[in-house]
Amino acid sequence: MPKPPSCPQCPSRPQLWKDTTRTAPGHEDRWRWYCTHCARRWAPTPEHRLKFTVFPPAPQHPPR
Ligand SMILES: [Zn+2]
């Protein structure tokens, strides 16, 4: 798991949390960064979205 970025606003540069409360099945990339220090949410960059989005594993079809 790559390291999350730090808050661009807080001087102490706290690490951001991945907030997945608004994600729904099929929309796993709709998460936001959340700073527990200033309680702000930040939109992830496209790069972060790729790196940190965890898609559910594809359903495994049993061998016939
Ligand atoms: Zn902050």
**Domain spans, the chain:** 1-20+31-53
Q: Residue 53 and residue 47: Cα distance in Å, rounded?
A: 10
Residue 50 CA, ligand 1 centroid: distance in Å? 22
pTM for the predicted model, two decimal places: 0.79
Q: Residue 15 and residue 8: Cα distance in Å, rounded?
A: 10
Residue 15 CA, ligand 1 centroid: distance in Å? 8
Mean pLDDT by 10 residues, the chain (64 residues): 91 96 90 96 94 83 80
pLDDT for 21 equals 92
pLDDT for 2 equals 82
Contacts of 8 (CB under 8 A, 6+ apart): 42
pLDDT for 59 equals 78
Residue 51 CA, ligand 1 centroid: distance in Å? 21
pLDDT for 62 equals 82
Residue 33 CA, ligand 1 centroid: distance in Å? 10
Dihedral angle of Cα 56, 24, 36, 4, to the nearest 10 degrees: 30
